[in-house]
Structure 1
Amino acid sequence: MIDFGGSGPQLLLLHGLGGNAREWREFADHLTDTHHVLAVDLRADLPWSWDIALADIEALGLDNPAVVGMSFGGMIAGRWAARHPECPAAVSVDGHRGALTRRADNYPGMAPARLDADLAAPRAAFAAQAQTPFLSTVLDAFRADDTIDAFAKARCPTLVLLATRNLQQAQGFEDLMAAGRRGVERDLLAAAAANPNLTVTEVDGAHDMVATQPTAVAALVRRFLPQGTTSTR
């Protein structure tokens, strides 16, 4: 675990799949004047499950931190919010449903034949990347377990920051990614309408917004966190 320092209540940062705690350094610097900011290296080997990932955080013995996760870490933050009503706040930075799901209705506006064709290449690419049992297990969980279901059950104040732009790496799959975002937005907004603990905010950025827009994203997080609104930094 990395301790970035700071004063105030604890804030725990959860990185994306394949990342590490050091990636939060620039982002953390924008929050240390209102929070004691920590980041943890998430488990990257088997055994692994969503429950094990949550148990790993519980085992850290922290003082009821707010939790912010990006991508994979945001999916964990959503499940944390469903399990821990005492949590001051949970934030997911574009960590929601896996991009390549098995349900056609997760891609509104795409014809089934076009959807099958567009999914073939990225699914093959993801399969090629799953070179370890750990990655294969995690990617299977992405497809099988919809994190939006966890957000719908959030028991503490929960914010989802939703990207509205494609990553540059998604060139050639713009229609597929746009359809996937439409489905995510539709289902997240429905969940938020039914659960007052859940807030959804669109961000004019891509999935990598923590790296490309750390100041703007940190400002959104700061405004949402309890006792994190007083700074004018």
Structure 2
Amino acid sequence: MINDRLIDAGELPIAIRDFGGDHPPLLLLHGAGANLAHLTGLARALRPHHRVITLDLRGHGRSGDGAWTWDAGLGDLAAVTVQMELDRPPAVVGHSFGGMLATLWGQRHPESPGVVNLDGNPPPTRPGQLPGLDPEKATAELARLTATFDAMQAAIGHTFPTADLPDLVERQRAAARDAGANEKIWIEGFRRNVVSKDGKTTVRPDPATTATMRTLMNDIDLGPVYTTTPTPTLTVLATRNMPAQEPFADLYAAHRRHLLDEAEAAAKANPRLHYFSLENATHAMPLEQPDFLASLISDFLRGATRGA
């Protein structure tokens, strides 16, 4: 039985979806700007082996608004774990921003059976993170990328007449078809972030939340976390660009080399850290390969438990 409910996290409610069952528990975390519905395909694929609990991060979906810090996000996960009265510590799996949060959870919670980070990596911010790219070109490309992200951020959170919502939903249906995604899941994900009141509609997260989360991602360095984490950790890396990344193809290819180098170095320094380059996968890997990822995640967590 799938159950939706709100968890009292103290300063705000956290919306969760519990897929039920008596298998080992697993918290599944979405990325910035998404919500729990976006991971439905992966959650379903994981359900035969885990009691999957997805949640809306603060400021997203049906969860409440609150200032974003890594500590606040980890506190929300702790509240979910306690109030769901799980019979054992959960594994934590996250995509993108959620993957970074999962990695930090593993650093602080050695009792966790394992964490998996699905391409949750800070964006490139300096030429040193772009090996093989000419430094002058790297600087120019980083400036161009920052400008693109600035423009995207400026477009987020605008209010529009609710009467325009049906047309926007149809555009989302077309986008789902173009992406080859499950249309029902895509639309639920879009609608879950929509808030309508007094004839006006906005799409969550709001501009302030988006700006704060972007700063958190830019500033974090996962290298030291990977080399010191006491929890079995798997980081899954993308191997190709999404269409939106193609204008920066050289930059992202160089950054993927950096991420692979970082993962290799961390794995040598810390036997609890493992990495996997997912063939023919973009950053949107949970939508592209949910069944394979579910198998990879379940196999890793079983192995981690046996190793313990």
- TM-score norm. by structure 2 comes to 0.70
CA displacement at 1:111 relative to structure 2: 1.3
Match of 1:12 in 2: 27
- Quick one: distance in 1 between partners of 2:211 and 2:153? 5
- TM-score norm. by structure 1 comes to 0.92
> 1:21-32 maps to which residues of 2 (within 5 A)?
21-32=36-47
- Quick one: distance in 2 between partners of 1:104 and 1:95? 20
Pairing 1:116–2:191 present? no
- Quick one: distance in 2 between partners of 1:111 and 1:211? 34
CA displacement at 1:157 relative to structure 2: 0.7
Render the CA deviation track for 1:49-83: whole Å, top value 9, x for unaligned. Answer: 11111111011114311000001100001101111
Pairing 1:215–2:286 present? no
Q: SS of the residue aligned with 1:109?
A: coil
Q: SS of the residue aligned with 1:59?
A: helix
- Quick one: distance in 2 between partners of 1:174 and 1:185? 17
Render the CA deviation track for 1:113-158: whole Å, top value 9, x for unaligned. Answer: 1011112222112112334121111111211111233222211111
- Quick one: distance in 1 between partners of 2:98 and 2:224? 16
Pairing 1:201–2:201 present? no
Pairing 1:94–2:119 present? yes
Pairing 1:171–2:246 present? yes
- Quick one: distance in 2 between partners of 1:20 and 1:125? 23
Pairing 1:78–2:103 present? yes
Render the CA deviation track for 1:2-22: whole Å, top value 9, x for unaligned. Answer: 012233111110001111111
**What's the RMSD between the two structures over aligned residues?**
1.7
**1:85–1:156: 8 Å Cα contact kept in structure 2?**
yes
Q: Which has the higher helix share?
A: 2
Q: SS of the residue aligned with 1:2?
A: strand
Match of 1:129 in 2: 152
Q: 5+ residue gaps in structure 2?
A: 1-15, 60-64, 155-206
- Quick one: distance in 1 between partners of 2:94 and 2:297? 11
What count of residue pairs does the alignment treat as equivalent?
A: 227
Q: Is the radius of gyration larger for structure 1 or structure 2?
A: 2
- Quick one: distance in 2 between partners of 1:153 and 1:99? 22
Percent identity between the aligned chains?
A: 40
- Quick one: distance in 1 between partners of 2:153 and 2:35? 18
1:59 to 79, 88, 92: 79
Match of 1:146 in 2: 221
- Quick one: distance in 2 between partners of 1:177 and 1:213? 21
